[in-house]
A and B are shown apart, each in its own frame.
Chain A
Amino acid sequence: MTQPLSIEAQLMRRIRDRDESAFSELYTRYGGMVYGMCYRVLQDQTLAEEATQDSFLKVWNQAHTWDNAKGSLATWLLTISRFTAIDRLRKEKRETPNSSVDIDDMLEFLAQYADDRNNIEALKGYLAQLPKEQREAIELAFYSGFSHSDIATRLNIPIGTIKSRVRLGLLRLKSLWLGEQIEE
């Protein structure tokens, strides 16, 4: 007996079939999430609107690339919107994109339990518990797509220190959120 399609899978199948009402439904469900991510990265309403538009059009044009097995639709949309917004941020700053992380490559490494985990609020709390300099380094990397050397230049701090802050911050989050021992 075949498994019934999830609501997400049904929605994406309709989008693949060029069903505009499904696209509208997707926007209703996830528009706030995608716009929130774009605004967090770009900090500008107009740019965030454009990045949101680009993100949803990528979904419309590349709906066939979504693979339910690699993660939820929300995970995929967040990944698309974050990288779209970061690319836009770099374009605004006339910088060449420096990241070559492919969305599919990244999703390959996402454990399914990331989607099942409901304690996102807890992670938010753990992030707030990090030393300020570790949180700052992680946020600059994650929301602005800055490499180690970009962050080092921006903060005028040795690159080794930045590497250490990002790594220790992530290890601490891993310890707190995923319940593992810190490997410092």
Chain B
Amino acid sequence: MTMENKTPNISPCDELRELLPTYALGAASIEESRRVQELLPLCPEVEPELREFATIAMGLAKTTPHMSPPAGLEAKLIRAIQTPNAPAVVKPVRNFPVWQGLAVAALATLFLTNILLIWQLSNSQTQLEQLRNNQLELATVIQNPAVRLIGDNDTVQAVVYVDDSENRLWLASNSLSSLPAESTYQLWLIGDSVASVGVFGVQNGQAFIAFSPENPITDFSTLGISIEPQGGSQAPTTTPIAIGDL
């Protein structure tokens, strides 16, 4: 006979009821939210309860006192919408004397990690070849000019190596966090207009991706990364988390 730690025998609809309060307040975890969405169609009798909780949540929102926004915010907003597809806030990129060291350090970490992964994944020929190709590409691109993409607190979030002649970009990062499944990072070329370079994810805390933008890189002055819905967006929908001058 085996001894099991059984969870209390709770019906799916009772489980749903238990999850509703934080879901309605917008504070459920990703797993809890998914579970609510799974269970709701099974328990239509619970929906009115969710509606009531959501109504209270909206009532709570409306109890929040209004405040006068800072002077000048409206003018900033108007300027932002007058620049087609412009990101909300473009932070100045300051000179940072040790950037090149950081860039190399980021790539060196990726390089070492690739070697470790090769050891760990040596039973997979495809992965092995892929990693070796990454190493070769890393060795090549490190010779190219680099742009550091700066985020909050002047931290380097990613380094982008640029090859104008081939119109190619390589992004390397070991600073970006993994995102939930419904979001993705998106790299943008920013100038008089904004063009998507492509979307990318982070695995094991690292990213190394090659891009061949459709638009000439030389037509733009800045690179930026934003967080977008999975699949990417036509134009940035959130403030860039990191930018850098080309």
Task: List residues of chain A with CB under 8 Å of any chain B CB.
Answer: 20, 23-24, 27-28, 31-37, 39-40, 45, 49-50, 52-54, 56-58, 60-62, 71, 74-75, 78-79, 82-83, 86, 91-92, 94, 96-101, 105-106, 109-111, 113-114, 117, 120-121, 123-124, 127, 138, 141-142, 144-150, 163, 166-167, 170, 173-174, 177-178, 180
User: At the interface, is chain A mostly helix, strand, loop or mixed?
Assistant: helix
Given A120-B63, A178-B55, A31-B27 contact (CB < 8 Å): no
Report how far A86 CA is from B27 CA in the complex, Å.
10
Interface window among B98-106, B131-139, B173-181, B208-216: B173-181
Task: List residues of chain B with CB under 8 Å of any chain A CB.
Answer: 18, 21-30, 32-34, 37, 47, 50-70, 73-74, 76-78, 80-82, 88-89, 152, 177-180, 182-183, 235, 237-239, 241
Assess whether A123 is in contact with B59, with CB atoms less than 8 Å apart. yes
Report how far A123 CA is from B68 CA in the complex, Å.
23
Assess whether B27 is in contact with A147, with CB atoms less than 8 Å apart. yes
- Shortest Cβ distance from A114 into chain B, in angstroms? 4
Assess whether B63 is in contact with A49, with CB atoms less than 8 Å apart. no
Given A23-B81, A145-B26, A114-B89 contact (CB < 8 Å): no
Q: Which of A33, A94, A114, A147 contacts B177 (CB 8 A)?
A: A94
Report how far A20 CA is from B83 CA in the complex, Å.
12
Among B18, B52, B179, find the residue whose CB has the most chain A CB atoms closer than 10 A: B52
Given A54-B88, A142-B27, A36-B64 contact (CB < 8 Å): yes
Report how far A83 CA is from B73 CA in the complex, Å.
20
Assess whether A36 is in contact with B66, with CB atoms less than 8 Å apart. yes
Assess whether B67 is in contact with A57, with CB atoms less than 8 Å apart. no
